[in-house]
Structure formats: C-alpha cells, structure tokens
C-alpha cells in the first residue's frame, strides 16, 4: 500500500499487538443525571431495618426498597451505555455484558431479586431473618457504591501507546459515543503495525483524513473504528477499565 496517497474511505488494519500494554485517559465527561435517587431509596429501606424491633412487614418493605434501588441503578446505567449495542459483545443479555465488562458480579443480586419476587407473589409465606436483611442491605449499598462513578461520569477517550525496539512506536486515541457506540480514532502509526489484510484481533479504521510523515515514516490519520469484533471489544473494555 502506498502510504503517501491514501484516499478517504480506505480501511486500514492495525495490528492488535498495540493493545497489549493497555491504555490510559485524562479526560472525563459528566452525565448530570440523578444518580443520588437510588441512594435515597436504599436509605429508606435501611431506616426500616434499623428500627429497634422491626416487624416482618418492615423487613419485607426494606427488601423491596433495596431491590428497587438496584433496579433503578441498572436502568440508569443502561440508559447511559446501551449495553446491548456494544460492538464485539458475546452475549445479548445486558446483565451478562455488564458482568463481562467487570462492572458487576451478578451473583450479588440473585438472592435479593429472588426474595423480592417471592414477597410480591406471596408475602405471608416468607419469613425474613433480620440478619439476612442486613446482609441484603449491605449488598445493595455495595452495588450502588461500586457503580456510582460510571453513573456520574465516564472517560471521553482512551489513549494507547505501544512501542518496542523491533517495531517502533505507535499511538492511538479513541473517542466513544456510548449510545450508538461509534468509535472515532486518531492514530500515529509506524508501518510495522499496519497489516496488508485483516487478521483476528486487528483494529480496522475507515480513514477520513491521512498524512504520511516523511521525516520518520509514520502514517498520521483519523477515521471511524469499524472492526474487528475482538478489537472493538478490547477498546470497550479499556473504556470501562478507565471509567470505573
């Protein structure tokens, strides 16, 4: 490929090795959404639990509030990130996707969800020990705390810098649109990291603008990330690793 005359619309294949040293980010974007509401719901449940002698009705109401807080947090996160639209995902279930991205551990929520469902269908048949309710309160509190940061803000971009003595140095800056998950890239890449054909794990960028830098032989370009699925998934993982 003649790197001095690349046309707009050309697809370039960047060796996936550039992902091997991770990424970093220095720019953040605030969501400006009411993430504190879920804590207020949790607090209402915890006040019921904190009574000197809470009744079974108090404990049941507390459990329902804890589960409601988690459900609303899940809905808010999905509103922000549209998990089922993330490229390269291996699951169609948003909770499994969140688990794959390291955002949640789904086992945290199973007992709370099951108990809430049982209480709604047959509240008289369920006896809830106070100590179990206290554990579920802690579970809900922990879940809200570990997801607070990505509910408040996220990184604007990830910066990837890879170098070795054998291949030289390449830099990549990727910005993310989380609703559509269209990812834009700016790159400064040594020809050693450009492939002639797509391979598993390589990043495909459809070029918008490009410039061959004669003094060091690098290619400078910008465009949209279009593949491959493993590479796009790696970028999304980097995005969430930096955001959490």
Domains of the chain: 11-27+156-243 (no CATH), 31-153 (1.20.120)
Separation in Å, CA 153 to CA 23, 35, 212, 240: 18, 10, 36, 11
pTM of the predicted structure, to 2 decimals? 0.86
Which pLDDT score, from 0 to 100, does residue 107 have? 72
Q: Which of 150, 44, 169 is CA-nearest to residue 102?
A: 150
Compute how many other C-beta atoms are within 10 angstroms of the C-beta atom of residue 26: 9
Give, as one character, the DSSP assignment of residue 16: G
Q: Which of 218, 240, 219 is CA-nearest to residue 174?
A: 240
Residue with tokens 């309710």: 133
Q: Is 82 left (phi over 0), alpha (psi -120 to 50) or beta?
A: left
d(CA 124, CA 56): 9
Residues 65-75 pLDDT 10s? 998 999 999 99
Q: C-alpha 35: how far from its chain's center?
A: 17
Residues 130-189 pLDDT 10s? 888 898 899 899 899 989 999 999 998 999 999 999 999 999 999 999 889 999 999 999
Instruction: Dump the DSSP string for 21-85.
Output: T--B---EEE----TTHHHHHHHHHHHHHTSSS--HHHHHHHHHHHHHHHHHHHHHHHHHH-GGG
Q: Is 77 left (phi over 0), alpha (psi -120 to 50) or beta?
A: alpha
What b-and-e string marks burial along 110-131, b requiring 16 or more CB atoms within 10 Å of the CB?
eebeebbeebeeeeeeeebeee
Antiparallel, parallel or unpaired: β 157-164 and 218-227: unpaired
Which pLDDT score, from 0 to 100, does residue 131 have? 87
pLDDT band for 120, please (50, 70, 90 cuts).
Answer: low
Residues 84-119 pLDDT 10s? 999 999 888 888 898 899 888 777 677 767 766 766
Instruction: Give phi and psi for 216, each to the nearest 5.
Output: -125, 0
Which pLDDT score, from 0 to 100, does residue 116 have? 66
d(CA 96, CA 84): 10
């Amino acid at each position: 490929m003649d790197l001095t005359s690349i046309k707009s619309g050309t697809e370039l294949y960047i060796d996936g090795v550039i992902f091997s040293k991770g990424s970093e980010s220095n720019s953040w974007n605030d969501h400006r959404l009411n993430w504190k509401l879920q804590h207020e719901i949790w607090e209402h449940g915890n006040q019921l639990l904190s009574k000197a002698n809470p009744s079974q009705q108090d404990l049941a109401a507390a459990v329902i509030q804890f589960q409601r807080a988690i459900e609303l947090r899940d809905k808010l996160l999905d509103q922000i990130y549209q998990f089922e639209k993330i490229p390269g995902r291996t699951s169609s279930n948003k909770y499994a996707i969140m688990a794959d991205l390291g955002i949640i551990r789904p086992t945290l929520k199973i007992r709370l969800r099951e108990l809430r469902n049982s209480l709604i269908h047959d509240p008289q048949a369920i006896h809830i020990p106070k100590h179990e309710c206290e554990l579920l309160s802690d579970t809900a509190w922990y879940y809200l705390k570990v997801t607070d940061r990505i509910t408040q803000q996220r990184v604007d971009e990830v910066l990837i810098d890879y170098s070795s003595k054998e291949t030289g140095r390449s830099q990549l800056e990727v910005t993310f649109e989380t609703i559509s998950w269209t990812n834009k890239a700016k790159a400064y890449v040594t020809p050693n990291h450009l492939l002639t054909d797509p391979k598993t794990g390589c990043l495909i960028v459809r070029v918008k603008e490009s410039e061959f830098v004669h003094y060091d032989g690098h290619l400078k370009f910008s465009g949209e990330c279009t593949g491959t699925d493993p590479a796009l998934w790696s970028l999304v993982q980097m995005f969430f690793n930096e955001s959490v």
